[in-house]
Amino acid sequence: MIKKVVFFDVDGTLLEYIKGMTSPLQSTIDAIKKLKDNGHVVVIATGRPRPFLPKEILSMDFHGYITANGAVVERDKALIYSKKIEKGILKKAVELFKKEKIVYFLEGYQKAYFSSLESQEARDFYEVFGVPRENITDEWKLEDIEANKMVVTIRDKDTLQRCVEILGNDFIFMKHPGAYSYDVYFKDCSKADGIREFLNYTGLDMKDTYAFGDGQNDIEMIQTVGTGVAMGNAKEELKSHADYVTDDVFSHGIANALKHFKLI
């Protein structure tokens, strides 16, 4: 059997925090274990940074992690790639967020740095998305940290527009479904780039890859891998790029697709 590499998005694919699904279905857990038992490589590919991954995902013991929307890549718990926000750009962003009175988070490899943990916006975010509390702090100095991605909480369109005008050359602002927060990630870095870094490091072939996703930031990944799978709950735009559409996150979509492709 030719070894395959299977990449999994997290939110809306393995679980769905916004709708109260805080752990993958048992069928998903069993299917991914079977996938590993069959000799295949399983990898997370998420917009979340490493510090935001819940224990329910980490306990599944993936072979690799592509986090921060492709800006950070790990293989067997070793960091193999990290695209960091330049200090000057990070300083400009923080000054802008302070001026606009925006609650913001800077996402590093091991920690996430919040502007304030006491704000309602911060509490809403880390509670709704199941962020491990021990991985976040609001005690930090800009000169001492590194960040791969950012999150901002913005309620009005005018503030969002001003931020996009100033930072839009370098970053994309993507709204979190069901929330008033936005991922701010590199314009020139996607999950597909993280996948290429992972494959270059491991020597595995793109034609032997599968990816599962549901959101806008999964489009490049779905287009790039050998076989792209959209969840049944995926956005229609993503489905139009997929090779296969499976059932939704609540209806055993992962297990059913892996069986369909005879990977388990």
Q: pLDDT tens digits, residue range 146-166?
A: 999 999 999 999 999 999 999
Please tell me whether residues 193 and 78 are part of one structural domain.
Answer: yes
Can you tell me the mean pLDDT for 217-244? 98
Residue 196 is part of which domain span?
Answer: 5-82+189-260
Same domain, 77 and 107: no
Three-state secondary-structure class, residue 182: strand
Please write the tens of the pLDDT for every residue from 64-92. 999 999 999 999 989 999 999 999 999 99
Q: Which of 171, 186, 201 is the C-terminal boundary of a domain? A: 186
pLDDT classification of 1: cutoffs 50, 70, 90: low
- End position of a domain, from candidates 186, 203, 234: 186
Average pLDDT, the chain: 95
The verdict on 140 and 168 lying in the same domain is yes
Same domain, 97 and 125: yes
Q: Is the pLDDT of residue 24 over 80?
A: yes
Query: CA triplet 241, 247, 250: central angle to 5 degrees?
Result: 125
Number of domains in the chain: 2
Report the candidate in 119, 89, 100 with the shortest Cα–Cα distance to residue 160: 100
pLDDT of residue 195: 99
Q: CA 99 to CA 94: how far, in whole Å?
A: 9
Asked if 181 and 92 sit in the same domain, the reply is yes
CATH number for the domain that contains residue 132? 3.30.1240.10
Same domain, 11 and 25: yes
CATH code for the domain in which residue 78 is found: 3.40.50.1000
Residues 165 and 122 in one domain: yes
Distance CA 190, CA 182 (A): 16
Q: From 107, 40, 12, 68, select the one nearest 197 (Cα to Cα).
A: 68
Q: CA-CA distance, 239 to 233, in Å (whole number)? A: 9
Looking at 186, 209, 233, the residue that finishes a domain is 186
The DSSP call for residue 185 is: E
Q: Taking the CB of residue 58, how many other CB atoms lie within 10 A of it? A: 13
Q: What number is the average pLDDT over the span 42-53? A: 97
